[in-house]
């Protein structure tokens, strides 16, 4: 019931009327207590569950418990457009009942959209502690990306602190092998969160240090991470310094004219050479070369340079040569 109130509060964030809000909360509570319906097992499919791994041994233990004591808590499902039902909460129970070859399962059917179903699923999974820390992190991230939730809204629906949400999300910065170790319990979640700000290479160094220790404490591991972060910061400053040194050196080596200037433009070695005399103006060089190209049969090339010359003249960049100068 505690989760139902959190979910309802999140799904109606703009409703400031206390009477309408209380009405909706009461409605949601009533839905939790809805009369059970027996639904055929083959009419139910799994939902977009945050939990990806289901241990076979514990599933079999749960199925034996259900065989002995019955299904204490029914699953929650929602109707889909194709006539099937999708699990909102209780996939593990559904799987355990499948092991018992049940034809039907008691279920609470609720008409929910994607966001409402996702909110209930999150509250259910976090409340039952069904997720690994990595699954939990991806669950938070998915609702932020898919529904635009803030971290505060995620924390409110999940029933956890904002700080916990931030710490879990930091795990998504870990390299894949570190995420796998955290998910399997081979690497402490606190250690993973501690090294989340390291770059990929230094994360792998930290993992190596931990693997060669005998269960390094979080305090000792944080000291290792601190040293690596300091080194990482110094490298970043060195990279920035190196960048500006290279920029200054490139500027100092730049030559804008003369024989040492590097002219990086397309060239056509098959065209006639440009003839330039010491006394020529730029306009005289242009006009003479345009005429040379035209006389050699390069009408298109002469026209292209002619267009450029006309634009430069009319823009007061170049002057026309005096009559009889070219």
Tokens of 276: 């330039």
Helices (H), the chain: 2-11, 18-32, 56-69, 91-99, 114-128, 133-147, 151-158, 162-170, 176-184, 189-194, 200-211, 218-253, 282-295, 299-314
The model's pLDDT over 130-161, given as tens digits with 9 standing for 90+, comes to 789 999 999 999 999 999 999 999 999 999 99
Q: Which residues of 217-254 are buried (b: 16+ CB within 10 A; e: fewer)?
A: eeeebbebbeebbeeeeeeeeeeeeeeeeeeeeeeeee
Reported pTM: 0.60
Q: Is residue 98 part of a domain?
A: yes
Closest CA to 44 of 115, 95, 100: 95
User: What pLDDT does 187 receive?
Assistant: 95
User: Which residues does residue 40 pair with via DSSP β-bridges, in sequence order?
Assistant: 104
Q: Is residue 45 part of a domain?
A: yes
Closest CA to 195 of 216, 309, 273: 216
Residue 88: strand, helix, or coil: strand
> Domain tally for the chain?
4
Q: Is residue 13 part of a domain?
A: no
Alpha-carbon distance of 212 to 257, in angstroms, equals: 61
Residue 196: strand, helix, or coil: coil
Q: Is residue 196 part of a domain?
A: yes
Q: Is residue 9 part of a domain?
A: no
**Which of 173, 189, 214 finishes a domain?**
173
Q: Is residue 63 part of a domain?
A: yes
The model's pLDDT over 243-299, given as tens digits with 9 standing for 90+, comes to 766 776 776 676 777 777 777 788 888 888 888 888 888 888 899 999 999 999 999
Output the domain CATH number for residue 47: 3.90.1530.10
Q: Is residue 255 part of a domain?
A: no
Decide if 246 is catalytic: no
127 in Cβ contact with 162 (< 8 Å):
no
Picking from 131-140, 169-178, 309-318, which range would have the lowest pLDDT averaged per residue? 309-318
Alpha-carbon distance of 205 to 175, in angstroms, equals: 12
Active-site hit among 61, 64, 91, 301: 91
Alpha-carbon distance of 131 to 18, in angstroms, equals: 34
**Which of 202, 226, 245 finishes a domain?**
245
Length of the chain in terms of residues written: 326
Q: What is the DSSP letter of 9?
A: H
The model's pLDDT over 177-228, given as tens digits with 9 standing for 90+, comes to 999 999 999 999 999 999 999 999 999 999 999 988 888 899 999 999 998 8
The model's pLDDT over 100-112, given as tens digits with 9 standing for 90+, comes to 999 999 999 999 9
**Which of 86, 109, 132 finishes a domain?**
109
The parent domain of residue 75 ranges over 32-109
């Amino acid at each position: 019931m505690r989760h139902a109130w959190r979910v309802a509060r999140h799904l109606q964030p703009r409703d400031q009327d206390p009477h309408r809000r209380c009405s909706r909360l009461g409605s949601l509570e009533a839905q939790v207590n809805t009369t059970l319906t027996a639904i055929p097992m083959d009419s139910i499919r799994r939902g977009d569950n945050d939990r990806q791994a289901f241990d076979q041994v514990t599933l079999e233990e749960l199925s034996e418990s259900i065989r002995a004591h019955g299904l204490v808590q029914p699953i929650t499902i929602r109707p889909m457009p194709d006539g099937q039902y999708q699990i909102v909460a209780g996939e593990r129970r559904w799987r355990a009942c499948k092991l018992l070859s049940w034809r039907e399962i008691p279920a609470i059917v609720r008409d929910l959209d994607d966001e409402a179903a996702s909110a209930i699923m999150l509250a259910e999974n976090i409340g039952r502690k069904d997720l690994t820390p990595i699954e939990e992190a991806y669950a938070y991230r998915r609702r932020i990306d898919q529904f635009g939730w803030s971290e505060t809204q995620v924390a409110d629906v999940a029933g956890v602190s904002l700080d916990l949400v931030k710490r879990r999300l930091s795990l998504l910065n870990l390299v894949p092998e570190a995420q796998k170790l955290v998910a399997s319990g081979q690497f402490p979640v606190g250690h993973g969160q501690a090294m989340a700000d390291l770059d990929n290479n230094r994360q792998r160094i930290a993992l190596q240090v931990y693997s060669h220790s005998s269960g390094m404490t979080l305090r000792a591991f944080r000291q290792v991470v601190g040293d690596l972060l300091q080194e990482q910061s110094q490298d970043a400053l060195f990279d920035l310094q190196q960048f500006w040194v290279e920029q200054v050196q490139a500027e100092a080596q730049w030559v804008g004219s003369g024989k040492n200037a590097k002219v990086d433009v397309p060239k056509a070695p098959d065209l006639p050479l440009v003839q330039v005399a010491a006394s020529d103006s730029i306009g005289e060089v242009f006009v003479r070369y345009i005429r040379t190209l035209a006389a050699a049969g390069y009408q298109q090339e002469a026209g292209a340079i002619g267009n450029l010359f006309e634009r430069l003249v009319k823009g007061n960049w170049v002057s026309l040569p005096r009559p009889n100068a070219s």
